[in-house]
């Protein structure tokens, strides 16, 4: 009869790091996805708000709708700052908002410079870069990744 | 109305343009023991000329200017009683006559005049037998008022149905005697009424004091030649000034009336055929966001983008395709000038909140904004916008080259494209 005493301990010793790694991967990836979702909401709502910045003078002069580039850019940056402030994991929301890539597209049809989405109306396109710090994967040396989120919104009131 | 006036107007209406009517009045009045006669002759004329002649005559001779400065004589005098102890004339009047304008004595004696020298060459006994200031006696004085009436019709040839102007201008020449002894003047005369016979059966009378000229518009409805006749009815006063031996003035005031008429030929040509072609116009709009209309722009649009769900104000503009044209006797007579007087929204009620948007059917002034809102499409329809046609009736006024103004109601529409724009990605 073969003695199997101690094998379970061996299994435990060998599989525990793997299980822990899988657990850490699951937790951090889920957190990352949640953070990307929050960031997506923040950028999306900022562009939607900025898409109301209609160039009223141009509208009266041409009968055509387009965005006021200056006002739309400022509005996007302002609402990015508002939306990112207080969000967990964003230590410097002002820096993120100030560094955001913002493009106002008035010549249509065109493609979103960040997502390559097709634009058939004047639109606000924005992209942010946010560092994300892992909670558990840092044990294996994976501390920070750069999260990039882009969104656009066509002109509206 | 006075019988003379009635007769004159009847003569005018009968076309007796060259008739003359004369009236005279003579009366006498005792002044200071003498007999003074004033006669006035008024000669009316209907060929453009009339006159009034007034004369005063004194049965003995005249006396010099009155004392004091309250009279219209060019001279005035001061009378001083001087005793000379002559059996036939125990005292005399020493009369000092002065020029009213310069206050200089005009009857100063020469320096070497022998006594009794009273400082004047005019010395009168109680019964004078010599003239006062060494001038010949004047038995009468006269004044004459000449009246000339010019009548014109402008334009001399007018189209039947158009307005002609009948004008009359009264000019006068007045000569008067404002003499040292006797004065005759014509004063305070004026035109009391005008009678205008246009020659086409219509007459009019102007009774208010309207000066010495008139301009009366008249429309000859039928082609032809007409004699336009105008009569001015004039009244006034002639005033004689007679001085007695004591230098007191006696004013004799007599009224007069006279008529002067004249005529001019007015020709009305055949009424031309006039066709007023309506303008061709379209509606165009200038969009504004919100309730206020901004500064006017020079460009308006037949098609615009619409912001879904936003109240849009539209300045309604007139887009002239072809101006209204006047055609006279088949020949182009020039283009008119059209402007937007008002507009009416003929479409269905828009999605604007009640009381804010423009309701269909009402008439609005040209400057009022058209306020509309479109809430559809409210979902993505294959990325396609929804097009709206907005019907509008334009109320257009056109002024043609001959001054005629016509109004037109012109139906038109503009279009709006609305996108659903809530998408984001």
Give residue-wise pLDDT tens across range A65-90.
999 999 999 999 999 999 999 888 88
B 289-308 residues with CB < 8 A to A = 289, 294, 297, 299, 301, 303-305, 307-308
Mean pLDDT of chain B: 80
Q: What is the pLDDT of residue B330?
A: 85
Residue A59 contacts B, CB cutoff 8 Å: yes
| The residue to which tokens 């003074």 are assigned | B36
Distance from CA of A157 to the nearest CA of B (A): 7
Tell me if B307 and A65 make a contact (CB, 8 A cut-off): yes
- Which token pair is B152? 């014109």
**Which residue does chain B place closest to A47, by CA atoms?**
B424
Q: Are B145 and B170 in contact (CB under 8 A)?
A: no
The reported pTM is 0.51
- Please list every residue in chain B whose beta carbon sits closer than 8 Å to the beta carbon of residue A151: 424-425
Q: What b/e readout covers A127-138, taking b as 16+ CB neighbours within 10 angstroms? A: bbebebebebbe
B 305-334 residues with CB < 8 A to A = 305, 307-310
Q: What is the pLDDT of residue A112?
A: 93
- Please list every residue in chain A whose beta carbon sits closer than 8 Å to the beta carbon of residue B308: 156-157
Tell me if A60 and B286 make a contact (CB, 8 A cut-off): yes
Tell me if B419 and A157 make a contact (CB, 8 A cut-off): no
Of B289, B308, B419, the CB nearest to A56: B289
Tell me if B305 and A59 make a contact (CB, 8 A cut-off): yes
Tell me if B425 and A54 make a contact (CB, 8 A cut-off): no
A 66-105 residues with CB < 8 A to B = none
- Give the 3-state secondary structure of chain B: CCHHHHHHHHHHHCCCCCCEEEEEEEEEEEECCEEEEEEEEEEEECCCEEEEEEEEEECCCCCCCCECCCCCCCEEEEEEEEECCCCCCCEEEEEEEEECCCCCECCCCCCCCCCCCCCCCEEECCCCCCCCCCCCCCCEEEEEEEEEEEEEEECCEEECCCEEEEEEEEEEEEECEECCCEEEEEEEEEEEEEEEECCCCCEEEECCCCCCEEEEEEECCCCEEEEEEEEEEEEEEEEEEEECCCCCEEEEEEEEEEEEEEEEEEEEECCCCEEEECCEEEEEEEEEECCCCCCCCCCCECEEEECECCCEEEEEEEEEEECCEEEECCEEEEECEEEEEEEEECCCCCCCCCCCCCCCCCEEECCCEEEECECCCCCCCCCCCEEEEEEEEEEEEEECCCCCEEEEEEEEEEEEEECCCCCEC
Which parts of chain B have pLDDT scores under 50? 1-21, 61, 126-137, 425
Helix (H, G, I), strand (E, B) or coil at A91: coil
Number of Cβ pairs < 8 A linking chain A and chain B: 60
**pLDDT tens digits, residue range A86-144?**
888 888 899 999 999 999 999 988 999 999 998 888 999 999 999 988 877 777 777 78
State how far the alpha carbon of B251 is from the alpha carbons of B31, B97, B103, B255, B339, in Å.
10, 20, 23, 13, 69
- Which token pair is B337? 């000038």
- Please list every residue in chain A whose beta carbon sits closer than 8 Å to the beta carbon of residue B299: 61-62
Tell me if B424 and A152 make a contact (CB, 8 A cut-off): yes
Distance from CA of B414 to the nearest CA of A (A): 12
Which residues face A102 on adjacent strands? Answer: A126
Q: What is the pLDDT of residue B22?
A: 52
Q: What is the pLDDT of residue B97?
A: 79
Q: What is the pLDDT of residue B15?
A: 35
Q: Torsions phi, psi of B104, nearest 5?
A: -95, 140
- Please list every residue in chain B whose beta carbon sits closer than 8 Å to the beta carbon of residue A65: 305, 307
Q: What is the pLDDT of residue B60?
A: 55
Of A56, A120, A153, the CB nearest to B383: A120
Tell me if B421 and A156 make a contact (CB, 8 A cut-off): yes
Q: What is the pLDDT of residue A113?
A: 94
Distance from CA of A101 to the nearest CA of B (A): 15
Q: What is the pLDDT of residue A130?
A: 93
Q: Are B194 and B230 in contact (CB under 8 A)?
A: yes
């Amino acid at each position: 009869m073969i003695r199997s005493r101690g094998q379970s301990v061996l299994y435990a010793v060998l599989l525990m790091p793997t299980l822990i790694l899988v657990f850490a991967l699951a937790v951090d990836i889920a957190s990352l996805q949640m953070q990307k979702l929050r960031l997506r909401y923040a950028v999306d709502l900022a562009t939607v708000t900025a898409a109301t910045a209609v160039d009223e003078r141009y509208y009266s002069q041409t009968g055509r709708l387009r965005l006021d580039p200056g006002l739309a850019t400022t509005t996007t940056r302002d609402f990015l700052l508002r939306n990112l402030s207080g969000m967990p994991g964003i230590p410097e929301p002002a820096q993120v908002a100030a560094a955001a890539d913002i493009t106002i597209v008035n010549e249509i049809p065109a493609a979103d410079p960040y997502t390559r989405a097709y634009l058939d109306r004047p639109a606000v396109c924005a992209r942010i870069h946010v560092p994300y710090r892992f909670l558990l994967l840092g044990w294996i040396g994976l501390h920070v990744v750069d999260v990039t989120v882009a969104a656009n919104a066509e002109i509206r009131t | 109305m006075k019988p003379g006036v009635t007769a004159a107007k009847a003569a005018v209406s009968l076309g007796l343009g060259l008739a003359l009517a004369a009236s005279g009045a003579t009366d006498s009045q005792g002044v200071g023991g003498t007999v003074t006669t004033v006669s006035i002759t008024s000669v009316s004329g209907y060929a453009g000329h009339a006159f009034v002649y007034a004369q005063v005559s004194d049965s003995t001779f005249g006396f010099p200017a009155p004392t004091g400065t309250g009279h219209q004589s060019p001279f005035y005098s001061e009378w001083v009683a001087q005793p000379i102890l002559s059996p036939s004339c125990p005292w005399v009047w020493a009369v000092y006559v002065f020029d009213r304008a310069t206050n200089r004595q005009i009857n100063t004696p020469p320096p070497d005049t022998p006594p009794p020298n009273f400082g004047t060459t005019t010395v009168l006994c109680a019964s004078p037998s010599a003239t006062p200031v060494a001038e010949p006696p004047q038995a009468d004085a006269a004044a004459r008022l000449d009246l000339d009436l010019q009548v014109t019709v402008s334009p001399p040839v007018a189209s039947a149905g158009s307005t002609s102007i009948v004008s009359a201008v009264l000019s006068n020449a007045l000569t008067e005697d404002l003499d040292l002894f006797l004065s005759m003047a014509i004063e305070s005369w004026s035109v009391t009424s005008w009678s205008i016979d246009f020659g086409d059966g219509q007459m009019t009378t102007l009774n208010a004091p309207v000066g010495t000229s008139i301009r009366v518009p008249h429309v000859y409805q039928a082609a032809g030649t007409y004699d336009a006749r105008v009569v001015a009815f004039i009244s006034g006063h002639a005033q004689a000034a007679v001085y007695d031996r004591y230098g007191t003035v006696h004013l004799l005031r007599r009224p007069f009336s006279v008529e002067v008429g004249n005529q001019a030929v007015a020709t009305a040509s055949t009424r031309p055929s006039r066709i007023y072609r309506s303008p061709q116009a379209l509606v165009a709009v200038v969009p504004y966001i919100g309730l206020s209309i901004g500064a006017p722009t020079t460009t308006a649009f037949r098609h615009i983008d619409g912001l879904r769900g936003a109240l849009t104000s539209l300045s309604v503009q007139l887009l002239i395709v072809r101006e209204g044209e006047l055609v006279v006797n088949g020949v182009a007579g020039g283009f008119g000038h059209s402007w937007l007087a008002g507009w009416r929204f003929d479409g269905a009620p828009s999605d604007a909140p009640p009381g804010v948007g423009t309701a269909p059917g009402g008439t609005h002034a040209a400057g009022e904004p058209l306020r509309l809102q479109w809430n559809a499409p409210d979902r993505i329809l294959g990325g396609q916008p929804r097009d709206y046609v907005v019907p509008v009736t334009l109320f257009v006024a056109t002024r043609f080259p001959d001054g005629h103004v016509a109004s037109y109601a012109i139906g038109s529409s503009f279009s709006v494209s609305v996108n659903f724009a809530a998408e984001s990605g």
